[in-house]
Structure 1
Amino acid sequence: MRLSPLHTRRRRLTAVAVALPLLAGGTALAGQATAESPVHTITSEVHDSVGTLFTATNHLVDIPGVVPVGEEGHVGKEYIVVWAGDENVADTSGQDIADTPLAVGAVKELSELPTDLPGQDFLAVIDADADSATYGQVVNTVTLGPLPENEPHHMQYIHTAGDSIYAGGLFSDITYVFDTDKLPLLELSGVSNPVDTPCGSVPDAYWVLEDGTAYGTYMGGPDVPGPCQYTNGEIRVGNGFAGSPGSVVRLDREGRTLAEVPAALPTAEFPEDCHNLPVLPTATCANPHGIQVREDLDTMVTSDYCEPRNIILDPVKAPDHKLCRPTVRTWDITDRNNPVVRNVTKLPDGPRRETNPAHEENQAIMETTVTNLPENKGAFAESMCGGAIFYAPDITAPEPAWREVFDNTTAALSVDPDVIEGGGCDGGGWVQTSLDDKYLYHAVIGRGPGAQFPEDQGTTKMIYTLDIQALVAAGDSVECTIDTILEVAEGGEEADCPALVDVLEVTDTTSGGPHWGALDNYVANGDGTYSETTDVDRIAYSNYFVARTGIDGNHRVCIADVEDGVMTVDEDFRDEARGGTCVDFNRLRWPHGETGNAKPHSMIFAVAGGDVR
């Protein structure tokens, strides 16, 4: 039994200029970089708690007229920061992946495997100023050392002024923390390694608190099988790395562990549904994936996905579909360093009766999202393999009343009326309320033809918008519930059910599709500064999941303009090399060299803190 180390690190942050800084003078819109533009390298470094040196090397493209933060003539700029992995031969293992219950598309043929050796993962910084001559250009890549093959996964859901970036490595069990005050330059300010989070592994997603610290979900079990003691003194028995139960970790801006607390209850959780491999003495579904927080309500919500060792990390057929989870957790975070699970709810099954039980509506609850306005207390959750949306009107209640309010089949049928199995294992991912609580956005990877059975025509790769105003306005008197097959196909019959506003069909002929998205919560003031806004008119999305599961993607990052919930692909956000719509991460050359294709998993819109008013 070990306590996670607190304040035991020896850290030093240094920025080493290897070449000249960006050129000074002019305005942010002057000039356009070319393929021959100089690249300047600037490296920051930290030592983790056991003395290992980690580095982050910026490769800044010299754009004439762009003046660094803090220098005379600087004009603010908005960027998209993308957390991306280097593509290599370890990304798929062949036919054994195709047989997993979560394989929603065809696996690459061996002849299509990437031939690159493992390389450095990186953060790509993309110009997101639509009025800029370099709009859509990768203006910096920040390569990480010394570890390759982190499998870059999620950062936080949204960036606000002054926030650090928290970025997790799914396979490496590492969280990296970056300072954003000098964007497009990013400085590494901290690293959390497995020693710092002994009771959890496989970091997934993050939520940044008002004080700049962050909660992170560690989906997998303790590093070593057996009992593990958390920072609050509690003990749970786990079955090892990437198994169960997971934890929630609070990190400071230097990556130090302020708290690691158990996601599992001390007693058994739904033993008939919460299986573990190897079997645990106390059954648990505690594999937290999605995380969102309402600090004003002292409440956090996390969603349980799957025991990751047998689904995400190990490309073999999982022997039991009940290693995927039907549960959502609400937490009391009154004591920020000791979040306590208030309730674990098994989400209801819906009216669909699938031949594959892993495709029932409440299977693999990947993501959750909270409402934002002070008068609202609700939250949503979605199922990756179940293809459904759930809602609870009051997450502060001792037992929140979760109910199904939408089936992805409705959205799929609006695009293709011949869909046979719409929601079943369609790969739902990112789900997010608009900041004004009017709309809900949801990304769905889709399913390739023949993925489930020979006559399966597949289902739509898409991002859709729901109008949730009536549902949220109903307060505790919600009537909407999806309980008939007709409602699966046509949407809920009750007046407060979410209404389908728009479906943005995404073209991706690979095994993957759109998995993640981000809201643009910044608006230009016209004087070189930005302000935060709740009136979001752009979203970004990426087409990549985790290649080793057999669900890859075309590796593109796109922007959609949004007006009243209706989405239109931004045709001006174009790849700098090929000229096509969206930024293509399948390319030969990056600012850091000819390293080949990369896998963009998550992204956020960001502005340097000093440029926000």
Structure 2
Amino acid sequence: MLSRSSSSRRSRMAAFCAAATLLAALAAAFPSGRSADADTYEIRSTATGSDGRTYTVTNHLVADTRTAEYRRIRREYLLVWAGADQAGTPDAPNPDFIAVIDATRGTPGYGRVVNTATLDDALGNEPHHMQYTWHKGHRIYAGGLLSDTTFVFDVSKLPQIRLSGVAQPADTPCGSAPDAFWVLRDGTAYGTNMGGPDVAGPCRYSNGDVVVGNGFGGTPGQVVRYGPDGRVLAQVRAADLAGEDPKLCPSVPALPKASCANPHGVQVREDLDRMITSDFVEVRNLLPTDPPPTDFDPNLLRDTVRVYDIADRGDPELLSVSRLPVGPRRDADPMTAEPRGAMEVAVTNKPWHRGAFASTSGGGAVYYTPDITDPSPRWREVYDLTSVFTALYPTGTPTAGASGAGWMQVSPDDRYLFHVVVGAGPGTPDSDRVPGTLYVLDLHKLLAAGPDVQCSIDTLAEVSQGGAEPDCPTLAGALPIADVTSGGPHWGALDNFTLGGDRRYHETERITRVATSNYFVQITGVDGNHQVCMALVDHRGRLTQDTRFVDEAKRTPCVDFNRDRWPHGEHGHARPHGLVFAVADADLR
């Protein structure tokens, strides 16, 4: 990704692309910490792993959350999956936790942390992603990138959270590094394992297929189906049994059958019986070193997207592996070419649309295919992040390659595409002063074209000014997000709820708020200022910062996770990553 120091470009890229060292063993487990103080009350829940180990989650709820005055108002919450910035000591460990933030508009406590649900005996997880969107009746699925563990939470009685189950490393031997999740209508979930099998060698998937992998954090990754109790229902092969081109899909060490299967993003269209994943990077060999590696193969940053048939939800079948095309920039550094580092995918939602998008963190480009049911989907570049930077910074325009594009989501009405970018690419003038960005693309012309898409970014003019074809997406809004640390905004969530005339919450297709978290993965050298910010979206897709969403102590916009004291006590700074909006079942129609 980008670096805001004087280190070389390759060191910067290595820092960004290291999704984790993934060589670390599970953190040591310590007993639960002390109670916070009289201003909070505690509620515990437990779950038992497949090996008989008991896990405990303790809610540290702010005392007034059980008063009649607080409960008089139906509330919406923002759940943030966060990791302790420092380990603490064996006698006083700093736990990872889900922060429950009051996201109820127009209330005095807007932005207040009203609960921290701590993992008392599972430390050092490197909390990563949850599902993209929460719906009533669903559990929360949350992955620990370094611990290779997935936690499942019941949020039906918010602000209280209960632990429903835990999937341990031994439950998913064919993959490591849990990343993103998508919850199905039946409450089960698909989740990606970006890394290879826990142990190098052959691994047998649930359907009997056997593939040889090169070990923990390597290749190939997999898709896992989880139950709402945390049980692993299926391990799903992401690798092509025939193998892929070893020059285009290298691994370290090399595999007998090459594969680019390192799935990061995952999204699903149940009505089409399709799942799509994007391959980001083989993660374990990209830990920044001093001096930086001189022989890093750019193809370790993957450029592939995979589509699966999920008619049998328990046995998805890999249908296609597509390579994203190279664009017109022709960057001198092949690591910043448009298709490098396919981190995220986003599906359309309406039954009359069948398209999907893919974005690249290394390349800074957005791709589109109009039909994911096509056995050989054709992907085309439809937007270059240089166009966003040109609109925001007409002079000294940042470079898009290695700018760190992350979370991406299509609005439920299919009108807009939301996308976050960590910062500026290497070579940008004063790159350490360029903030992160949340931007919005208007999709209505592109999707109206149906299968007859003409948009294609294939000239340098289109790189900076947007596509010339009439059906190309256009920039609706862009909002700088202040963070000039080594990182910036990496993840986000759409607020899919609205308060109805019956004074209860309902799901909505009209998005008016977006939350973002300013953090990537600290151990890679790409950190962030640890703030969670809120943006407002108007009816034309234009963005403004929600200045009423403030830190309860500093009274400044954005909730700052760099604080000494939490509801669970004085445990210091925390690193916010995954986030999602949710409402208690009793308050949601």
TM-score relative to the length of structure 1: 0.87
Is 1:286–2:287 an aligned residue pair?
no
343-352 vs 315-324, greater mean Cα deviation: 315-324
Alignment of 1:199-218 (within 5 A): 199-218=174-193
Q: Aligned pair in 2 of structure 1 residues 259, 570: CA closer, same or farther (>3 Å)?
A: same
Is 1:602–2:578 an aligned residue pair?
yes
* Residue equivalent to 1:334: 311
Deviation of 1:162 after TM superposition, in Å, equals 1.3
C-alpha separation between the residues in 1 aligned to 2:157 and 2:69?
A: 7
Is 1:83–2:61 an aligned residue pair?
no
Q: Give the AA of the match of 2:412.
A: L
Is 1:353–2:330 an aligned residue pair?
yes
Deviation of 1:320 after TM superposition, in Å, equals 2.0
Deviation of 1:314 after TM superposition, in Å, equals 8.6
C-alpha separation between the residues in 1 aligned to 2:431 and 2:133?
A: 37
C-alpha separation between the residues in 2 aligned to 1:240 and 1:313?
A: 20
Alignment of 1:56-71 (within 5 A): 56-63=57-64, 66=67
Deviations 1:173-200 (A, max 9, x none): 0000000111110000000001110101
Q: Is the 8 A contact 1:367 1:383 kept in 2?
A: yes
Q: Aligned pair in 2 of structure 1 residues 453, 568: CA closer, same or farther (>3 Å)?
A: closer
SS of 1:478 mapped into structure 2: coil
Is 1:127–2:126 an aligned residue pair?
no
* Residue equivalent to 1:38: 39
C-alpha separation between the residues in 2 aligned to 1:401 and 1:117?
A: 54
Is 1:371–2:369 an aligned residue pair?
no
C-alpha separation between the residues in 1 aligned to 2:381 and 2:60?
A: 47
C-alpha separation between the residues in 2 aligned to 1:524 and 1:537?
A: 12
Q: Give the AA of the match of 1:224.
A: V
SS of 1:195 mapped into structure 2: helix
Q: Aligned pair in 2 of structure 1 residues 262, 482: CA closer, same or farther (>3 Å)?
A: same
Q: Aligned pair in 2 of structure 1 residues 485, 334: CA closer, same or farther (>3 Å)?
A: same
Deviation of 1:147 after TM superposition, in Å, equals 2.1
TM-score relative to the length of structure 2: 0.90
Q: Where does structure 2 lack aligned partners over 5 or more consecutive residues?
A: 1-31
* Residue equivalent to 2:459: 484
Q: Is the 8 A contact 1:420 1:456 kept in 2?
A: no
* Residue equivalent to 2:203: 228
Alignment of 1:305-344 (within 5 A): 305-311=280-286, 317=292, 319-344=296-321
Deviation of 1:132 after TM superposition, in Å, equals 2.0
Q: Aligned pair in 2 of structure 1 residues 294, 67: CA closer, same or farther (>3 Å)?
A: farther
Q: Is the 8 A contact 2:87 2:94 kept in 1?
A: no
Which of 419, 422, 426 lines up with 2:399 in the alignment? Answer: 422
* Residue equivalent to 1:551: 526
C-alpha separation between the residues in 2 aligned to 1:515 and 1:55?
A: 29
Q: Aligned pair in 2 of structure 1 residues 375, 147: CA closer, same or farther (>3 Å)?
A: same
Q: Aligned pair in 2 of structure 1 residues 480, 445: CA closer, same or farther (>3 Å)?
A: same
Q: Is the 8 A contact 2:424 2:431 kept in 1?
A: no
Alignment of 1:379-418 (within 5 A): 379-418=356-395
Q: Aligned pair in 2 of structure 1 residues 323, 605: CA closer, same or farther (>3 Å)?
A: same
Deviation of 1:550 after TM superposition, in Å, equals 1.1
Q: Aligned pair in 2 of structure 1 residues 445, 138: CA closer, same or farther (>3 Å)?
A: same
Q: Aligned pair in 2 of structure 1 residues 243, 315: CA closer, same or farther (>3 Å)?
A: farther
Deviation of 1:277 after TM superposition, in Å, equals 0.6
C-alpha separation between the residues in 2 aligned to 1:589 and 1:74?
A: 27
* Residue equivalent to 1:303: 278
C-alpha separation between the residues in 2 aligned to 1:237 and 1:64?
A: 52
C-alpha separation between the residues in 1 aligned to 2:479 and 2:445?
A: 23
* Residue equivalent to 1:111: none
Q: Aligned pair in 2 of structure 1 residues 447, 573: CA closer, same or farther (>3 Å)?
A: same
C-alpha separation between the residues in 2 aligned to 1:185 and 1:313?
A: 39
C-alpha separation between the residues in 2 aligned to 1:306 and 1:484?
A: 27
Alignment of 1:183-262 (within 5 A): 183-262=158-237
Q: Give the AA of the match of 1:477.
A: D
SS of 1:63 mapped into structure 2: helix
Q: Aligned pair in 2 of structure 1 residues 117, 417: CA closer, same or farther (>3 Å)?
A: farther
Q: Is the 8 A contact 2:511 2:537 kept in 1?
A: yes
Q: Give the AA of the match of 2:545.
A: V
* Residue equivalent to 1:566: 542
Which of 258, 265, 290 lines up with 2:240 in the alignment? Answer: 265
519-528 vs 320-329, greater mean Cα deviation: 519-528
C-alpha separation between the residues in 1 aligned to 2:387 and 2:435?
A: 11
Deviation of 1:447 after TM superposition, in Å, equals 2.7
Deviation of 1:117 after TM superposition, in Å, equals 8.8
C-alpha separation between the residues in 2 aligned to 1:457 and 1:418?
A: 16
* Residue equivalent to 2:558: 582
SS of 2:523 mapped into structure 1: helix
C-alpha separation between the residues in 1 aligned to 2:464 and 2:38?
A: 53
Q: Give the AA of the match of 1:438.
A: R
Q: Give the AA of the match of 2:77.
A: Y
Q: Where does structure 1 lack aligned partners over 5 or more consecutive residues?
A: 1-15, 20-34, 91-115
Q: Give the AA of the match of 1:250.
A: R
Which of 438, 448, 455 lines up with 2:415 in the alignment? Answer: 438
Q: Give the AA of the match of 1:569.
A: Q
Q: Aligned pair in 2 of structure 1 residues 245, 566: CA closer, same or farther (>3 Å)?
A: same
Of all paired residues, the percent bearing the same amino acid is 52
Deviation of 1:528 after TM superposition, in Å, equals 4.1
Deviations 1:349-374 (A, max 9, x none): 10011121100000000000000011
Deviation of 1:145 after TM superposition, in Å, equals 2.6
Deviation of 1:62 after TM superposition, in Å, equals 1.3
C-alpha separation between the residues in 1 aligned to 2:494 and 2:251?
A: 36
Q: Give the AA of the match of 1:346.
A: R
SS of 2:375 mapped into structure 1: coil
Q: Give the AA of the match of 1:288.
A: P
* Residue equivalent to 1:10: none
Is 1:500–2:475 an aligned residue pair?
yes
C-alpha separation between the residues in 2 aligned to 1:312 and 1:206?
A: 25
Is 1:469–2:444 an aligned residue pair?
yes
Q: Is the 8 A contact 2:398 2:428 kept in 1?
A: no
Q: Is the 8 A contact 2:435 2:482 kept in 1?
A: no
Q: Aligned pair in 2 of structure 1 residues 336, 391: CA closer, same or farther (>3 Å)?
A: same
C-alpha separation between the residues in 1 aligned to 2:396 and 2:144?
A: 36
C-alpha separation between the residues in 2 aligned to 1:489 and 1:525?
A: 42
C-alpha separation between the residues in 2 aligned to 1:395 and 1:75?
A: 43
Q: Is the 8 A contact 1:37 1:63 kept in 2?
A: no
C-alpha RMSD of the superposition? 2.4
C-alpha separation between the residues in 2 aligned to 1:582 and 1:392?
A: 36
Deviations 1:419-472 (A, max 9, x none): 455211000001111110011111000137xx4588868755211111111001
